[in-house]
Amino acid sequence: MRGEILGVERRRRWRDEDKLGIVMSVGVDGATVTQVAQRHDVSRQQIYTWRRELKKKGLWSPDDGA
């Protein structure tokens, strides 16, 4: 099977505030990582990566939620 390239894809840039908002929305009203990822059109792994990144920067703590 051969894929067709239709255009140049660009990487999205996420601000720390946006990442934090997405990470913090996990668990709100029972939302799972999968549901939040689908809602924001990112992978589940991206959310876990952001968690680690934000924790290293001191912007997020597991005690804060999610």
- Residue 52 sits in a domain whose CATH number is 1.10.10
Report CA dihedral (25, 10, 45, 50) to the nearest 10 degrees: -50
The tokens for 7 are 């255009």
In a domain, 4, yes or no: no
In a domain, 53, yes or no: yes
What pLDDT does 40 receive? 94
What pLDDT does 2 receive? 54
What pLDDT does 3 receive? 55
In a domain, 5, yes or no: no
Q: Structurally, how many domains does the chain consist of?
A: 1
| Spatial separation of the C-alpha atoms in residues 51 and 6, rounded to whole Å | 33
Full domain range(s) for residue 41 = 16-64
In a domain, 60, yes or no: yes
Give residue-wise pLDDT tens across range 30-60.
999 999 999 999 999 999 999 999 999 999 8
Give residue-wise pLDDT tens across range 6-35.
666 677 889 999 999 999 999 999 999 999
State pTM to two decimals: 0.77
